[in-house]
């Protein structure tokens, strides 16, 4: 007799799904904000799901976390104070800490359960959270940035999708507050969904973002567990675009060990297909 054939499926927009065979269910629970599940799988290792959606997996997390952190931080002359909004699994913080100039990281995560369960079940992702440079604040990131004028060199918005409590993290008011919270030359990155499946959301996110940062633009990476696999991030800055030599010099300072990001990926990630350019034109 065969064992149980247990599958998890993330259904996107009612019409498509990504499925993964489940070896074990490690934790299931609920906070005041969302449901949280940790499953173990053959293909992706341990997987964190929030409200039934893939957030991060042991196998492909490096792609998303390296790209949301190193693209902005390599664009800044000397990032010292960094704010991560969301990102309670710790993967983005782990990458930020690779930058030798970083003195302090504020992680503002609304849901303590995400941090607690990531520490318990995803130690290779959460490993930077106990670094002395990191302060964790269990607060709403939207409120946090409101009164922090000139506090940060970089803001990284590692949010969930634009539903429920995260909707405000994609709004024009929030991006204006981020602009104010950045020092001169400050940079921002944010996860901004699938340009293929989330056309309306992406168009509206960039229209909102460009009210505060007129030169904001997307860059992309292939994240296998997100809908469609082709994912975009926003890059926005109060300073000039970095010279390619600066990006190369920053990369050398990271001292190796990265599995996705390098200076060639940095440049190539900003190259967009025509359908995505058209979408931004419409925005």
Active site residues: 158
Among 37, 58, 158, 177, binds ligand SPD (CB under 6 A): 158
Output 53 or 71, the one with its CB closest to ligand SPD: 53
- Helix residue ranges per DSSP H, the chain: 61-73, 91-96, 112-121, 123-126, 141-144, 172-181, 199-212, 244-253, 263-268, 274-282
Among residue numbers 188 through 207, which ones bind ligand SPD (CB under 6 A)? 191
Residue with tokens 């002359």: 77
Among residue numbers 51 through 110, which ones bind ligand SPD (CB under 6 A)? 53-56, 64, 87, 89, 91-92
Told to check if 235 binds ligand SPD by CB under 6 A, we report no
User: Dihedral angle at the C-alpha atoms of 16, 19, 25, 27, nearest 10 degrees?
Assistant: -40
CB of 17 to ligand SPD, least distance (A): 13
Among 41, 160, 192, 208, binds ligand SPD (CB under 6 A): 160
Helix (H) or strand (E) holding 182: strand 182-191
Output 40 or 51, the one with its CB closest to ligand SPD: 51
Q: What are phi and psi of 221, to 5 degrees?
A: -155, 160
Output 55 or 178, the one with its CB closest to ligand SPD: 55
- Burial of 272: CB neighbours in 10 Å, binned 0-12, 13-18, 19+: middle
CB of 241 to ligand SPD, least distance (A): 25
CB of 45 to ligand SPD, least distance (A): 15
CB of 230 to ligand SPD, least distance (A): 12
Distance from chain centroid for Cα 71? 11
CA atoms in the 13 A half-sphere facing the CB of 24: 6
* Closest chain position to ligand SPD (CB): 56
The residues pairing with 74 across neighbouring beta strands, listed in sequence order, are none
Output 111 or 161, the one with its CB closest to ligand SPD: 161
d(CA 263, CA 128): 24
Contacts with ligand SPD by CB under 6 A lie at 53-56, 64, 87, 89, 91-92, 158, 160-161, 191, 226
């Amino acid at each position: 007799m065969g064992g149980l054939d247990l599958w998890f499926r993330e259904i996107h927009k009612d019409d498509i799904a990504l499925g993964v065979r489940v070896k074990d269910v490690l934790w299931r629970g609920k906070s005041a904000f969302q449901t949280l599940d940790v499953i173990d799988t053959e293909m992706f290792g341990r997987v964190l799901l929030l409200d039934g959606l893939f957030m991060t997996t042991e196998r492909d997390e490096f792609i998303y976390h390296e790209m949301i952190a190193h693209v902005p931080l390599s664009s800044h002359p000397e990032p010292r104070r960094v704010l991560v909004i969301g990102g309670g699994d710790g993967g983005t913080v782990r990458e930020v800490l690779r930058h030798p100039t970083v003195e302090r990281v504020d992680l503002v995560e609304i849901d303590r359960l995400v941090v607690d369960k990531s520490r318990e079940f995803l130690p290779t992702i959460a490993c930077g959270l106990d670094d002395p440079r990191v302060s964790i604040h269990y607060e709403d990131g939207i409120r946090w940035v409101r009164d922090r004028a000139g506090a940060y060199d970089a803001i990284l918005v590692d949010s969930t999708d634009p539903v429920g409590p995260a909707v405000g993290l994609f709004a024009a008011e929030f991006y204006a507050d981020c602009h104010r919270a950045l020092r001169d030359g400050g940079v921002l990155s944010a996860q901004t969904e699938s340009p293929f499946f989330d056309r309306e959301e992406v168009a509206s996110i960039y229209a909102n973002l460009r009210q505060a940062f007129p030169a904001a633009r997307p860059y992309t990476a292939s994240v296998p567990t997100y809908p469609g696999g082709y994912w975009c991030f926003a890059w926005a800055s109060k300073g000039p675009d970095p010279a390619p030599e600066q990006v190369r010099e920053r990369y050398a300072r990271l001292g190796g060990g990265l599995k996705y990001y390098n200076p060639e990926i940095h440049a190539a990630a900003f190259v967009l297909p025509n359908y995505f350019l058209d979408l931004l034109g419409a925005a």
